[in-house]
A and B are shown apart, each in its own frame.
Chain A
Amino acid sequence: EPEVTQTPSHQVTQMGQEVILRCVPISNHLYFYWYRQILGQKVEFLVSFYNNEISEKSEIFDDQFSVERPDGSNFTLKIRSTKLEDSAMYFCASTDYEQYFGPGTRLTVT
């Protein structure tokens, strides 16, 4: 069964550093998403991506965040200068109508 993959599974970084979280969506899907879940809180929408551009972003997705599809398979989320409050689980998802989630990347900012 096709699946969404994410790397790394866990990333530890220092405050102020840049991080790139990587995702490989399901190959024939057209819509891609990044969601975030801070420990103990609900999952929140960050950004959706369609046809090689952002289709919608949330208030959380400020200038520190960017997304890219650098080739035909990868979908990345970059945080330019990480803050302590960026510590969370980041989920990538793709959809052909039903959403398929990756296993998540746990980001820890120290």
Chain B
Amino acid sequence: KNEVEQSPQNLTAQEGEFITINCSYSVGISALHWLQQHPGGGIVSLFMLSSGKKKHGRLIATINIQEKHSSLHITASHPRDSAVYICAVDSGGSNYKLTFGKGTLLTVNP
């Protein structure tokens, strides 16, 4: 069973700061997902990674398969980035089900 740990659990930043959220997992995976959950609950997929690095706007996600570790970076953070960021892994197998971390609550103050 894959254990997914995120750090920090809570993060408060000032607008414009560079943000890093970390995720580690215990068992090899076929893919790692970064998700965003806003108050009210809806979940939006930000990235799916199996190796290397991906960038979308101000968001960057990296993964190190050997170290079983991924990071999500937000450059030039903005109050609208305030949300819960969730790391989830697909441990392989045939049905792509996800195992989730507890999430990181990010608050960006103006």
Binding site for B on A (CB under 8 A): 31, 33, 35, 37, 41-45, 48, 50, 55-56, 89, 91, 95, 97-101, 103-104, 106
Binding site for A on B (CB under 8 A): 33, 35, 41-45, 48, 86, 88, 93-103
- B100 and A42 contact, CB distance less than 8 A: yes
Q: Would A101 and B97 be within 8 Å (CB), given that A42-B103, A43-B88 are in contact? A: no
Closest 5 CB pairs of A and B: A101-B43, A43-B100, A48-B95, A55-B95, A103-B42
Q: How far is the CB of B45 from chain A (nearest CB, A)?
A: 6
9 residue pairs of the A-B complex, CB under 8 angstroms, read A37-B41, A48-B96, A55-B95, A97-B48, A99-B33, A99-B98, A101-B44, A104-B43, A106-B41
- A101 and B45 contact, CB distance less than 8 A: yes
In addition to A42-B86, A43-B100, A44-B100, 8 A-B residue pairs with Cβ atoms within 8 Å of each other are: A31-B95, A56-B93, A95-B96, A97-B96, A98-B33, A98-B45, A99-B98, A106-B41
With CB as the reference atom, state the residue of chain B lying closest to A97. Answer: B96
Q: Which of B33, B43, B94, B101 contacts A91 (CB 8 A)?
A: B43
- In the complex, A37 Cα to B95 Cα: how many Å? 20
